[in-house]
Amino acid sequence: MDENLILEARNVSKGFPGVQALDDVTFNLRKGEVHALIGENGAGKSTLIKILTGAHQLDSGEILLEGEALTNLTPHHAMECGISAIYQEFNLVPYLTVAENIYLGREFMKSVFVDMDKMNESASEIFGAMGVAINPSIQVSDLSVAYKQLVEIGKAVSQNSSILILDEPTAALTNKETENLFKLIKKLRSEGVSIIYISHRLEELQEIADRITVLRDGRYIDTVNIADTDRAGLISLMVGRELGMDFPKPTPASDEIVLEVKKLSTENLLDDINFKLRKGEILGFGGLVGAGRTEVARALFGLDNVTQGEIIIHGKKVVNRNPSGAIGNGIGLIPEDRKDQGVLLNLSIRENIGYTFIKQISDWIFVNRRKERGLVDEFQKKLNIKCSSTEQRVSNLSGGNQQKVVLAKWLAGDCDILIFDEPTRGIDVGAKQEIYNLIKELAEDGKGIILISSEMPELIGMSERIIVMHEGVIEGELSASDVSQEKILDLASGKE
């Protein structure tokens, strides 16, 4: 038994309806090490972190802190045990000062008043020890992302945290800021703080991590010393799985171009995006979260301002200023966030299916019930939406059935180009297969399909070509014949 362990997760399992997020996962953290946790999207990293910080309760297994079992861990309890997590979305109150944020809920008091001077002083001491210069009386909303992150770390330090969890800490940092962060992490490590470090950026792990644990599909794969492995070895650990699904390969596309994108750039991220989509083709978009795939969809759909470039549909240049314009030009978007962007949870299945193309089932301004009935019945059967009645509220359906309702909403019209953004996220295996079959049928019917997916097997199994993006640019294109998960991951994590 390793004497030096501070935190241990033994045989941890956690299921959500429809998904086994963690399956018998073991993870251990030594005192004063930086232990990286890697895996593809959906591998179970976030779930593990949430269990360690008490945000989720485990179904089975145990968590040991310095050899003692922790039961019924709550976020508050985890904090008392010295476990602090810093997420990509910060937990700071923007309109309070740095010092007020650090001591939120633990303010220094002078009778009934908050002792600001003492809080500022003490915050300064912490930053001094961290080797960073932040004025503690400044308002947090005035700080840059990098500084906000430092404030979060300072808060953790002030709580005497012995375990610090960093979730993608460098995602929004510049190179210089990343360097500073690494210096700080090394300093904390030398002071005996143990760090769990989650990152998609394999190169930086070589510099910062001591050991790496790989998760895949909610299962523990391996833990390796950084010295014993390299980038290729890590990628093969992250991937290394069979394509479990049965992916219907569509018939080859015709040569007719339905959509051409030339030199597309947007204000926020995209830079010089060029690609062509043929009739009947499924074009995959791969890349990590934040690579700009969704932004491509948004730009095509008239949601983000296009600063430069052209969108050409059927040989005609179009400008989509808003979604209704894009729909008019024959583009449909099945958005990535089902609950917030896809379905109308407060409406029934019937009302949802008829929503987008309601003009088609209306006479003048009134909805024609008979036409609506026909349309709704057709799609309920076609997509096999399981429900007691089409009058049922969509909020009562399972994720997979909700997603089918979103699809029906879009298939009711006759869009030539359909963009699927993560169409199978968070839905069960059976519904996934049905959606794959449906996408294939649509391609066979001559639709041009853009498939954005973070699930490698799905992306590879469905697409004829795959465009891989990294930080707003197209990093490369792979055809179905020479694609592999390794090649995609290699492109997606950005070559140096």
Partner 1 sequence: MPKRFNLLKSIRKHGIFYVCIVVFIFFAIASDAFLSRANLMNVVRQVSMLGISAVGMTCVILTSGIDLTVGSVLGIAGTVCAKLMVEAGFHPIISVILALLAACLCGAVSAFLITSVRIPPLIATLGLMGTIRGIIYILCGGLPIYGFTKAFKVIGQGYVGIIPVPVIIMVVIFITGHLFLNRSRYGRYIYGLGGNEEAARLSGVNIRGMKYLTYIFSALCSGIAGIVMLSRLFSAQPTTGDGFEMNVITAVVLGGISIAGGEGKLSGVVAGVLIIGILTNGMILLNIDSYWQMVVQGIVLLIAVGVDQMGKSMQGKTGRIEKAEKAA
Which residues here bind partner 1, judged by CB under 8 A?
15-17, 301, 303, 322-324, 326-327, 333, 335, 340-347, 351, 354-356, 358-359, 362, 365-367, 409
Which residues fall within 8 angstroms of residue 412, CB to CB, at 6 or more apart?
Answer: 353, 354, 356, 357, 360, 375, 379
Residue 202 CB, nearest approach to partner 1 (Å): 34
Q: Is the CB of 329 or the CB of 454 nearer to partner 1? A: 329
Residue 395 CB, nearest approach to partner 1 (Å): 9
Residue 335 CB, nearest approach to partner 1 (Å): 6
**SS3 of residue 192 by DSSP:** coil
Task: Label residue 330 left, alpha or beta by phi (over 0 means left) and psi (-120 to 50 means alpha).
Answer: left
How many Cβ atoms sit within 10 Å of the Cβ of residue 229? 18
Contact (CB, 8 A) for 428 and 399: yes
282 bridge partner residues = 449
Contact (CB, 8 A) for 43 and 62: no
Q: Is the CB of 17 or the CB of 105 nearer to partner 1? A: 17
Residue 340 CB, nearest approach to partner 1 (Å): 6
**SS3 of residue 450 by DSSP:** strand
Amino acid at 92: L
Contact (CB, 8 A) for 44 and 238: no
Residue 240 CB, nearest approach to partner 1 (Å): 30
Q: Is the CB of 112 or the CB of 365 nearer to partner 1? A: 365
> What is the C-alpha radius of gyration for the chain, rounded to an integer number of angstroms?
25
Residue 184 CB, nearest approach to partner 1 (Å): 38
Residue 400 CB, nearest approach to partner 1 (Å): 13
Which residues fall within 8 angstroms of residue 434, CB to CB, at 6 or more apart?
Answer: 383, 384, 400, 404
Contact (CB, 8 A) for 191 and 31: no
Q: Is the CB of 154 or the CB of 330 nearer to partner 1? A: 330
Contact (CB, 8 A) for 402 and 18: no
**DSSP letter assigned to residue 239:** S
Q: Is the CB of 98 or the CB of 449 nearer to partner 1? A: 449
Which residues fall within 8 angstroms of residue 247, CB to CB, at 6 or more apart?
Answer: 436, 457, 458, 461, 462
Structure tokens belonging to residue 172: 């929004």
Q: Is the CB of 318 or the CB of 343 nearer to partner 1? A: 343
Which residues fall within 8 angstroms of residue 1, CB to CB, at 6 or more apart?
Answer: none
Q: Is the CB of 14 or the CB of 440 nearer to partner 1? A: 14
Q: Is the CB of 233 or the CB of 323 nearer to partner 1? A: 323
Q: Is the CB of 41 or the CB of 362 nearer to partner 1? A: 362
Q: Could you give the CA distance from residue 423 to residue 439 in angstroms, rounded to a whole number?
A: 10
Residue 426 CB, nearest approach to partner 1 (Å): 14
Residue 327 CB, nearest approach to partner 1 (Å): 4
Q: Is the CB of 298 or the CB of 440 nearer to partner 1? A: 298
How many Cβ atoms sit within 10 Å of the Cβ of residue 350? 21
Provide the strand spans (E) within 5-151: 5-16, 19-30, 34-38, 60-65, 68-70, 83-86, 109-110, 113-114
Residue 96 CB, nearest approach to partner 1 (Å): 23
Residue 402 CB, nearest approach to partner 1 (Å): 11
Q: Is the CB of 320 or the CB of 485 nearer to partner 1? A: 320
Contact (CB, 8 A) for 201 and 493: yes
Phi and psi of 292, rounded to 5°? 110, 10
